[in-house]
């Protein structure tokens, strides 16, 4: 690495190369190691391309860093790997208010993009708890989901064009601005969700929508799981396409999440087995509020919910979301494994019963916290493992992942595979799919220099 180190310094200048960097990753619950001795901080696409040309020539492995909020070890590094951060490519290059697009460098934070859109009375339809840390490049590389997928789809649906630097340094500029463009293969799709293994995203053209000033939020409680999907159907029908979030919370997570300095007053007088955070957005404040209230009242009369709290101000809306987003409260049952599984809603209750029984009988583990994007068939299941012993982790993972195969479920609904889930990919993808992934990796990155060992092994 010593020869290449000098060449990299010559390419990027003194501020562009950090020796023995200290890395603070916000999504690293598992404690994946960051052992890279070098962190590169290019300032332009051309610099990224020059770095890749050099590393490809020397067959030097690179690990790509966005905002480090990824939850599957995708940014962790070994001693013989070099990290490349997009932190100095944060420019918002422009907003086209007529075409409703925003063009950004990939190191721009998600929240900065949301705010830039709002300043033009437009709306970027991706949101997640790590909005202040996560970058657009990381969102694209992981095809992030988040809180509004039920209405707007995942990151993939928000991306119109991309600029990507390939492993050999080729700059692939595919900065499409059009909603419809079937001129040949849609190459950007290959890089969305590829977790930095096929190329480095340096710029993106993102789709915007009109801002939705009317926002209604409620937290409801119910006593039976099967009422949640029925409530979801009822609310979707009643709101006529305005539903923007439907987040389910089990009481085991709810009780943990209430423990926080900012959450001193519990929203309900008594405990309930299940809760749902429901939100609608639209254009007309008064009409939307009436429709939202009527939908909740009808759900109450139909016995689908037992109690409800309607947020009366933006502050109350934020405090309801703070319960859902209080992931730090999971520290109370740490060490934990955070799962991100996808499965049909109809199978969720029996799946949860089965894994709870197996965790208890095989490992005597009982600490569980469950919440998730129910409308997207996506559950986050957090298991308190009482130890960091990797053999226990693997046994817990087998218990949760193996049953998903028969359910045609997913071991990763939105977080990706990274390092953490690679050994279980076969539960969600067949042999031909995995072979095709390897073929793509070999074609795009024959020397295996981009995030090697992540997603699939060669
Ligand atoms: C509190 C919290 C809440 C979260 N909520 C959600 C949620 O609701 N939905 C969801 O999907 N995720 C969620 N996440 C996970 C995480 O925020 C997302 O995966 C996010 O998209 C990662 O962005 P990042 O910039 O932090 O990427 P990083 O963590 O830096 O990187 C993630 C992966 O992408 C690669 N990568 C990063 N930038 C680039 C680039 N420019 N080009 C190519 N590859 C790149 C990395 O190598 C790595 O493999 C949450 C995380 C936290 C901590």
Single residue among 71, 87, 103 that ends a domain in this structure: 87
Residue 222 maps to which CATH number? 3.30.70.2190
Q: Is residue 442 part of a domain?
A: no
Single residue among 30, 64, 87 that ends a domain in this structure: 87
Q: Is residue 99 part of a domain?
A: yes
Task: Specify whether 320 is located in the same domain as 219.
Answer: yes
Q: For 279, which DSSP code?
A: E
Strands (E), 124-207: 159-165, 171-174, 200-207
Task: Specify whether 177 is located in the same domain as 205.
Answer: yes
User: What's phi and psi for 230, nearest 5 deg?
Assistant: -70, -40
Task: Specify whether 100 is located in the same domain as 199.
Answer: yes
User: What's phi and psi for 282, nearest 5 deg?
Assistant: -165, -165
> Does the CB atom of residue 8 touch ligand 1 within 6 A?
no
> Does the CB atom of residue 67 touch ligand 1 within 6 A?
yes
Rounded Cα gap, residues 146 and 386, in angstroms: 28
Task: Specify whether 257 is located in the same domain as 301.
Answer: yes
| Other Cβ atoms within 10 Å of 225 Cβ, number | 17
Confidence (pLDDT) at 248:
97
Of the CA atoms within 13 Å of residue 391, those in its CB half-sphere come to: 1
Task: Specify whether 351 is located in the same domain as 413.
Answer: yes
Q: Is residue 391 part of a domain?
A: yes
Rounded Cα gap, residues 425 and 154, in angstroms: 20
Confidence (pLDDT) at 318:
93
> Does the CB atom of residue 71 touch ligand 1 within 6 A?
yes
> Does the CB atom of residue 137 touch ligand 1 within 6 A?
yes
Q: Are strands 336-342 and 307-310 parallel, antiparallel or unpaired?
A: unpaired
Task: Specify whether 289 is located in the same domain as 370.
Answer: no
Residue 179 maps to which CATH number? 3.30.465.10
Task: Report yes or no: 192 and 447 within 8 Å, Cβ to Cβ.
Answer: no
pTM: 0.97
Task: Give, for ligand 1, the residue of 42, 128, 246, 372 to mutate: max count of ligand atoms closer than 8 Å to Cβ.
Answer: 128
Nearest to 337 by CA among 360, 362, 361, 370: 370
Task: Specify whether 349 is located in the same domain as 392.
Answer: yes
Task: Specify whether 313 is located in the same domain as 351.
Answer: no
Of the CA atoms within 13 Å of residue 452, those in its CB half-sphere come to: 18
Range of the domain at 163: 92-210
Beta-carbon contacts of 171 under 8 Å, excluding residues fewer than 6 positions away, are 45, 46, 49, 163, 164, 165, 202
Beta-carbon contacts of 199 under 8 Å, excluding residues fewer than 6 positions away, are 164, 165, 166, 167, 172, 191, 444, 450
Task: Specify whether 73 is located in the same domain as 51.
Answer: yes
Closest residue to atom 20 of ligand 1, CA basis: 139
Single residue among 87, 110, 128 that ends a domain in this structure: 87
Which atom of ligand 1 is nearest to 144's Cα? 11
Task: Specify whether 247 is located in the same domain as 204.
Answer: no
- The domain tally of the chain equals 4
Task: Report yes or no: 438 and 93 within 8 Å, Cβ to Cβ.
Answer: no
Q: Which residues of the chain have pLDDT under 70?
A: 261-264
Burial of 287 (0-12, 13-18, 19+ CB in 10 A): exposed
Confidence (pLDDT) at 7:
97
Task: Specify whether 338 is located in the same domain as 234.
Answer: no
Confidence (pLDDT) at 260:
73
Task: Specify whether 202 is located in the same domain as 97.
Answer: yes
């Amino acid at each position: 690495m010593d020869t290449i180190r000098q060449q990299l310094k010559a390419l990027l200048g003194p501020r562009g190369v950090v020796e023995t960097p200290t890395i603070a990753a916000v999504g690293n619950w598992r404690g994946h190691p960051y052992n890279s001795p070098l962190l590169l901080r290019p300032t332009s696409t051309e610099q990224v391309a020059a770095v890749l040309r050099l590393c490809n020539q020397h067959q030097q492995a690179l690990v790509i860093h966005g905002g480090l909020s990824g939850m599957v070890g995708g940014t962790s590094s070994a001693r013989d790997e070099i990290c490349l951060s997009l932190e100095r490519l944060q420019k918002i290059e422009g907003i086209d208010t007529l075409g409703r697009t925003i063009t950004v460098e990939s190191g721009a934070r998600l929240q900065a993009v949301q705010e830039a859109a709002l300043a033009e009375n437009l709306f970027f339809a991706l949101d997640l708890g790590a909005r202040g840390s996560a970058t657009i490049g990381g969102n694209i590389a992981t095809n992030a989901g988040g809180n509004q997928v039920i209405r707007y789809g995942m990151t993939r649906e928000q991306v119109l064009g991309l600029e990507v630097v390939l492993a050999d340094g080729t700059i692939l500029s595919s900065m499409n601005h059009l909603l419809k463009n079937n001129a040949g293969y849609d190459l950007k799709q290959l890089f969305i969700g590829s977790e930095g293994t096929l190329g480095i995203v340096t710029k993106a053209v993102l789709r915007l929508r009109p801002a939705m000033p009317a926002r209604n939020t409620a937290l409801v409680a119910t006593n039976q799981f099967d009422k949640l999907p029925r409530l979801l159907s009822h609310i979707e029908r009643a709101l006529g396409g305005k539903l923007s979030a439907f987040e389910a919370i089990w009481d085991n997570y709810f009780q943990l999440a209430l423990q926080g300095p900012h959450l001193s007053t519990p929203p309900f007088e008594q405990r309930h087995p299940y809760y749902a955070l429901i939100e609608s957005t639209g254009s007309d404040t008064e009409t939307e509020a009436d429709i939202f209230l009527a939908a909740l009242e009808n759900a109450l009369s139909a016995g689908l919910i037992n109690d409800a709290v309607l947020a009366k101000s933006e502050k109350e809306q934020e405090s309801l979301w703070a319960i859902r987003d209080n992931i730090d409260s999971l520290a109370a049952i740490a060490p934990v494994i955070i799962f991100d599984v996808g499965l049909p809603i109809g199978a969720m209750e029996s799946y949860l019963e089965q894994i709870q029984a197996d965790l208890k009988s095989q490992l005597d583990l009982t600490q569980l916290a469950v919440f998730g994007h129910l409308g997207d068939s996506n559950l986050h299941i957090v298991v308190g493992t009482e130890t960091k012993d990797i053999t226990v982790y693997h046994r817990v993972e087998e218990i949760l992942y193996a049953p998903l195969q028969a359910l045609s479920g997913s071991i990763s609904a939105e977080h990706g595979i990274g390092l953490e889930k690679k050994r279980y990919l076969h539960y969600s993808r067949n042999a031909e799919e995995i072979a095709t992934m390897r073929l793509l990796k070999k074609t795009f990155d024959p020397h295996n220099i981009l995030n090697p060992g992540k997603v699939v092994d060669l």
